[in-house]
Structure 1
Amino acid sequence: MSKIYVAIIGAGGVGKAFISQLASYSSRNPSLNITPILISRSKTALISPDYSGLSLSNWASDLASATTPPPAFPTETLKFLSTAPGPVILVDNTSDEAIASSYPQFLSAGIHIVTPNKKGFSSSIDLWNGIYSAAKNGDNANGKGGFVFHEASVGAGLPVLSTLKELVETGDKIRKIEGVFSGTMSFLFNSFAPLSGDNGGKGFAECVVQAKELGYTEPDPRDDLNGLDVARKLTILARLSGLAVPSPTSFPIQSLIPSELETAKSAEEFLEGLPRFDGEMTKKKTDAEASGSVIRYVGSLNVERKEVKVGLESFAKSSSIAGLQGSDNIISFYTERYGANPLIVQGAGAGAEVTAMGVLGDLIKVVQRL
């Protein structure tokens, strides 16, 4: 088979794990001739200008000592990839909205895209339509565009999007999708409101601090507590289910940030002030416990009613959502064929290794189609 060229943007946690997994996959499948030609981060890059390929055995040290700036995006990057002597897969391991907004240009040029970046698929509906109009596996009638896959944009390595797509494509009717879509929120409420009802007396603020110290939250926990990350994932699921949701802020999102702390100047200032509001969250927890339930932060999508929402809900202690452990995600698909008992996808929905696995899985899908 002729070479398949791979360009990788983003070499942080997920990027490093992806490159490691790609190197292993390539060594197990040498006949595929997978050839990396670009590895870039924000200020430096490794480039193979003659398309002969980069070594993945010592890329980290090479990139650390590199002084070459990445090609300007999107113009120079698009030109470089478009003139490669074979098919090119662009792997976007960032969460950069500016990069995602250029996906239609790359797809129209026949460049394939795999990514965990939610921004391109959960921002404006116009960008969503632009991506899938340009993509070969979208609405492009002439079939000249590149393939695009973004399994890891919802649930990391969990088969959430592929499951939903298969349900829809085989003619099942999606009625409702509900679940815990955030590893951060999963850990936080499993700590704050465990099934046993005994969390050692920890208030909500203390649980947030613990989650941050263990690396479950963003550097500023407000980026998790505002609910936008979950809303983006629900937007993607809604659109794949046939609902043209305009944006991730076009439906109700319950923020867990007290209004008085929204303008805190730093994460530290926010965390200092958060204990003052523990009483509000404790009341929600005790009210749920009084009825034999627990509170969880969930996203729900009712296709029949065309309703999407994100926020706190109470669940019976016997429910699968209440019984979730650690930082796992759980997504329940209620469909016509599955009846009253949903199809459930559950497992680790965050972390560099599992996210990278989802990205590599998408790359393999492209390779198989090529």
Structure 2
Amino acid sequence: MVRSVNVAIVGAGLVGSAFINQLQSLRSHAITYNVILIARSTKALVSKSYAPLPLANWSQDLAASSPASGLSPGDLAAYLEKSPLPVILVDNTSSDALAKVYPVFLSQGVSIATPNKKAFSSELGLWNSLFSSAANFAAEPKGKGFLYHEATVGAGLPVISTIKDLVATGDEVVKVEGIVSGTLSYIFNEFSTLSGGAPVNFSDVVNKAKELGYTEPDPREDLNGLDVARKLTILARLAGLDVQSATSFPVQSLIPRPLEEIEAVSEFMAKLPEYDGKMEETRAKAAEEGKVLRFVGKIDLSGESAQKVKVGIEKYDAAHPFASLKGSDNVIAFYTKRYGKNPLIIQGAGAGSEVTAMGVLGDVLKIAERVAK
């Protein structure tokens, strides 16, 4: 007997589109995935009867639909609550408003799969309202629905599931150290290398990353370090720290202070070369020590550091795994009591719409195995 679930998809941009395409390409027929809603900020396709939407031309159908109405987070919760089949909400947005309604969805039996970091890295109160206990870091959510968020840290890499398994099986996490921004990974891999070639200007590397589409349209959203801070907040909370928010610990911004108040992206990019000297000085000092620069997040639960969580530039010698990183790869090292001095390392593509969508889809499959009828 084939089991079924209903799927509601909010967010149909790059990640959302990749997710829908991957969902359509599933080879398994053990569970049927009925898409009953596809929505973006101003448009929506909604099956009022909860029958599956046709997906052959979903993008064109969505573009041709009337402006969305009645799709506030509260109205969405009311619609999903009446689903005749178990329903999975796929939130491919970065919406704070939608994240704050997660507890409502869960209490109604709606399960959630999402790459939305804000839902898990904002104020600690929201985190605690999502999960049954601040001490239960196997992450059993409150309510009757299931909540999976593998893609919030490392896109398709098994980062969240790994730290959950470590904690759930009784291992003691001593330290977590990682390069968790594909954008900043690329920038520093290009800017500070072991090859000994002619040095490049930091601003030129940022420009190149922007041209390649590695940065946000406004690169300052990457350079301010907040994306890394949000991911570290999630990992720290899963490791057992009551981190208040992504701004409650030191986060090094790569935006020169005199440029912080500039509004236009073009003006910021035009003036960034004026501050290449300071970054070059930092790079040169590291090179004199035979080391390279990397933008890293650190979590220390050993008791040896007064600062438990921090984000910023660190120096590594050639023998360190972080020094040989290529492209925009992510790498995360888990130091635990069981693994001793040799950390458990996860490395691979940690950014991009396809791998992020894969992480979300993997969560949907796990949820469906638990709830499908």
Q: CA contact under 8 A between 1:46 and 1:68: conserved in structure 2?
A: no
| C-alpha deviation, 1:201, in angstroms | 3.9
Instruction: Name 2:277's counterpart in structure 1.
Output: 279
| Same amino acid, percent of matched pairs | 54
Aligned-residue offset at 1:2: 4.7
Q: 1:193-236: per-residue Cα shift (whole Å, max 9, x none)? A: 112132x4421011110110000101111100000000000000
Q: Could you say which residue in structure 2 is the equivalent of 1:167?
A: 166
Aligned equivalents of 1:205 and 1:137: distance in 2? 41
Code of the residue aligned with 2:321 in structure 1: it is S
Is the CA contact (8 Å cut-off) linking 1:137 and 1:147 kept in structure 2? no
1:149 aligns with 2:148: yes
Cα distance in 2, alignment partners of residues 284 and 173 from structure 1: 35
Using the TM superposition, give the Cα deviation of residue 131 of structure 1 relative to its aligned residue in structure 2, in angstroms. Answer: 1.0
Is 1:245 paired with 2:243? yes
Structure 1 residue 317 displacement after superposition: 1.4
SS at match of 2:351: coil
Structure-to-structure mapping, 1:72-111, within 5 angstroms: 72-111=71-110
**Which residue number corresponds to residue 346 of structure 1?**
347
Which amino acid in the other structure matches residue 265 of structure 2?
Answer: A
Q: Which residue of the partner structure matches residue 29 of structure 1?
A: 28
Cα deviation per residue 1:323-356 (whole Å; 9 max; x = unaligned)? 0000000000001111111100000000000000
Query: Which residue of the partner structure matches residue 195 of structure 2?
Result: 196
- Residues 1:317 and 2:315 aligned together: no
Normalised by the length of structure 1, the TM-score is 0.96
Aligned AA (1:21): Q
Paired residues of 2:184 and 2:295 also in contact (CA < 8 A): yes
Compute the displacement of 1:101 (Å).
1.1
- For 1:362, what is the secondary structure of its paired residue? helix
Q: 1:5 — aligned with what?
A: 6
Amino acid at match of 1:64: A
Displacement of 1:277 in angstroms is 0.6
Aligned to 2:216: 218
Give, in whole Å, the separation in 2 of the partners of 1:226 and 1:266: 16
CA drift of 1:3 comes to: 2.9
The number of residues matched between the two structures is 364
Q: How many angstroms does 1:72 deviate by?
A: 2.5
Tell me the CA shift for residue 70 of structure 1.
4.8
Q: Distance in 2 between matches of 1:204 and 1:137?
A: 40
Query: What is aligned with 2:132?
Result: 133
Classify the secondary structure of the residue corresponding to 1:175.
Answer: strand
Cα distance between partner residues in 1 of 2:326 and 2:98: 35
Equivalent runs, 1:14-93 vs 2, <5 Å? 14-25=15-26, 28-93=27-92
Contact 1:11 1:41 in 2 (8 A): yes
Q: Distance in 2 between matches of 1:280 and 1:159?
A: 36
Could you say what secondary structure the match of 2:215 adopts? Answer: coil
The DSSP-based 3-state class of the residue aligned with 1:256 is coil
Q: CA deviation at 1:58?
A: 1.3
1:271 CA drift (Å)? 0.7
Task: Tell me the distance in 1 between the aligned counterparts of 2:92 and 2:69.
Answer: 15
- Distance, in Å, in 1 between the alignment partners of 2:225 and 2:194 is 23
Amino acid at match of 2:286: A
Tell me the equivalent position of 2:205: 207
Q: Is the CA contact 2:121–2:230 (under 8 Å) kept in the aligned structure 1?
A: yes
- Give CA deviations for 1:277-333 in whole Å, capped at 9, x if unaligned: 111000000000001101110000002236000000000012100100000000000
Q: Give, in whole Å, the separation in 1 of the partners of 2:289 and 2:165.
A: 38
Would the alpha carbon gap of residues 196 and 184 (structure 1) be closer, same or farther in structure 2, given more than 3 Å must change? same
The letter of the residue matching 1:160 is: V
Contact 1:42–1:70 under 8 Å retained in 2: no
Tell me how far 1:139 sits from its aligned partner: 5.5
**Could you tell me which amino acid in structure 2 is paired with residue 368 of structure 1?**
E
Greater Cα offset, 72-81 or 82-91: 72-81
1:168-211 residue CA offsets vs partner (Å, 9 max, x unmatched): 1111110000010100001001111112132x442101111011
Once the two structures are TM-superposed, the CA of residue 24 in structure 1 deviates from its matched residue by: 1.0
Match of 2:194, SS state, is coil
Q: Provide the TM-score with structure 2 as the length reference.
A: 0.95
Give the match for residue 367 of structure 1. Answer: 368
The structural deviation recorded for 1:137 is 5.6
How far is the alpha carbon of 1:86 from its aligned partner? Answer: 1.3
Following the alignment from structure 2 to structure 1, what is the Cα–Cα distance between the partners of residues 329 and 75? 40
- The whole-number CA distance in structure 2 between the counterparts of 1:211 and 1:156 is 19
Q: 1:31 deviation in Å?
A: 4.0
8 Å contact 2:141–2:147 — kept in the other structure? Answer: no
1:293 to 291, 294, 303: 291
Cα distance, 1:64 vs structure 2? 1.4
* In 2: Cα distance, 1:228 partner to 1:327 partner: 18
Write the distance in 2 (CA, Å) between the matches of 1:2 and 1:293: 55
Structure 1 range deviating more: 304-313 or 33-42: 304-313
